């Protein structure tokens, strides 16, 4: 059987597939990446087996500034409600999934920009997407908005101390994760070099927050990358098992 056909929606050059790109390449998969922020068009969804929707600096309601968000949310809705095929939404992708399916996204009561403990719900501990993680895992969070209400059929998979809906699923295989499972230490350094990211970290962690967050992430990178590989593998197993 040929490798699965993977479609990727990207929203900014500094929010790439990163480690997931490495894993896809190792599996001989060459994803089709649509850079929506550059005006690239969403292709016909029918030929694809899996969809990955990445993070970005925009918010789900900023359709006047980013009109492509309208067609993107329509595509996500079609992917889940019509095709019912595997999707993984990361950060903004997580929020777009919730919004497209009738959930709600708002400003976070407490933004997150740090290494975080992801605590799995009872459903999460039993779900194949989270196989092998036990009750918790570490990952990188970097967001100022959050999913405040899940879609009607949404099931919570994980939370953090400050974010109740850190992961959920809807349909048979559409998953949203607020945290950046794909992020590397290099990517976190890039985010905290950018003015908005630096400002957020300093707001949350003080003037020396950037260095402390970078150090925490660097120290945890072996575990973070192992966790990323496990999540990727779990998701791709679900994607491959659902193919004709």
Q: Please list the residues that pair with 117 across neighbouring strands.
A: 138
Q: Say if CB 88 and CB 120 are below 8 A apart.
A: no
Sign of dihedral through CA atoms 221, 222, 223, 228? Answer: positive
∠ CA 89-94-97, nearest 5°, is 90
Biggest CA-to-CA distance, the chain: 54
- Let me know if 143 is a catalytic residue: no
What does residue 164 show for φ and ψ, rounded to 5 degrees?
-60, -40
Rounded to whole angstroms, how far apart are CA atoms 148 and 150? 7
Q: What is the 3-state secondary structure (H, E, C) of 68-117?
A: HHHHHHHHHHHHHHHHCCCEEEECHHHHHHHHHCCCEEEEEEEEEEEEEE
Name the strand (E) or helix (H) holding 120. Answer: strand 104-120
| Strand, coil or helix: 190 | helix
Name the strand (E) or helix (H) holding 139. Answer: strand 136-149
Question: Any idea what DSSP says for residue 143?
Answer: E
- Let me know if 15 is a catalytic residue: no
- Let me know if 91 is a catalytic residue: yes
**Options 15, 91, 116, 163, the catalytic residue:** 91
Q: What positions carry a catalytic annotation?
A: 91, 180, 182
């Amino acid at each position: 059987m040929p490798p699965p056909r993977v479609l990727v929606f990207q929203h900014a050059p500094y929010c790439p597939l990163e480690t997931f790109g490495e894993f896809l390449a190792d599996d001989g998969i060459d994803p089709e990446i649509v850079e929506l922020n550059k005006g690239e068009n969403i292709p016909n969804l029918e030929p694809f087996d899996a969809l990955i929707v990445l993070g970005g600096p925009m918010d789900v309601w900023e359709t006047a500034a980013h009109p492509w968000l309208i067609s993107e949310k329509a595509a996500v809705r079609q992917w889940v409600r019509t095709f019912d095929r595997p999707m993984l939404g990361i950060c903004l992708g997580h929020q777009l999934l919730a919004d497209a399916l009738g959930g709600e996204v708002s400003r976070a009561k407490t933004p997150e920009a740090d290494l975080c403990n992801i605590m799995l719900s009872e459903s999460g501990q039993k779900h194949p997407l989270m196989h092998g993680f036990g009750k918790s895992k570490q990952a990188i969070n970097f967001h100022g908005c959050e999913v405040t209400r899940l879609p009607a059929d949404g099931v919570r998979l994980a939370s953090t101390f400050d974010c109740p809906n850190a992961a959920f699923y809807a349909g048979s295989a559409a998953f949203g994760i607020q945290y950046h499972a794909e992020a590397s230490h290099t990517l976190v350094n890039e985010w905290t070099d950018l003015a908005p990211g630096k400002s957020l970290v300093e707001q949350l962690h003080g003037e020396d927050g950037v260095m402390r967050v970078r150090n925490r992430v660097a120290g945890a990178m072996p575990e973070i990358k192992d966790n990323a590989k496990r999540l990727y593998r779990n998701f791709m197993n679900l994607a491959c098992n659902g193919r004709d």
